[in-house]
Amino acid sequence: MTPFALDEAAGATRFVLSGNCTVEEASAASQALAKALAENDAVILDISGVEYADITFVQLLLAAAQAAADKGKRLELSGEPSQAARDALRLSGVTGDPLILGLFGRSGLRICMPGER
């Protein structure tokens, strides 16, 4: 199963990451997300279906956020990130990174452990 999908039917480009987001899928997902950012002014990123994520998932998010910022594009988070996505970000130590804060801050979401506020 492909861990990403591009949905342009709703009038906006929506990039959905789901399933396992690991080193095995990183290259194809990264290329597809880079292409979506290159071809659109805004991309809506949905990580609610991520079931397992490793450091390459975090690198993918950081690279996409940086590319969007560099090109004056908008990368927005849609929906509630899965617990696996939150865990990968928290465990990698990037929750204070300005790119991650910007991505999550625009959506009003926070990365925290269960029970934290």
List pLDDT tens digits, range 66-94: 898 899 988 888 878 899 988 888 888 87
Does some domain include residue 78? Answer: yes
- Please give the pLDDT value at position 9: 58
- Please give the pLDDT value at position 103: 73
Q: Which pTM was predicted? A: 0.79
Does some domain include residue 117? Answer: no
Contact, 31 vs 67, CB < 8 A?
no
Region for residue 34 given its phi and psi (left: phi exceeds 0; alpha: psi -120 to 50; beta: otherwise): alpha
Contact, 77 vs 48, CB < 8 A?
no
Mean pLDDT taken over the chain: 80
Does some domain include residue 112? Answer: no
Percentage of the chain exceeding pLDDT 90:
21
Number of domains the chain is built from: 1
Q: Which residue range(s) make up the domain with 39?
A: 4-107
Banded model confidence at residue 53, pLDDT cuts 50, 70, 90: very high
Does some domain include residue 116? Answer: no
Tell whether the model's pLDDT for residue 12 goes beyond 80.
Answer: no
Q: Which of 17, 12, 67 is nearest to 44 (CA)?
A: 12
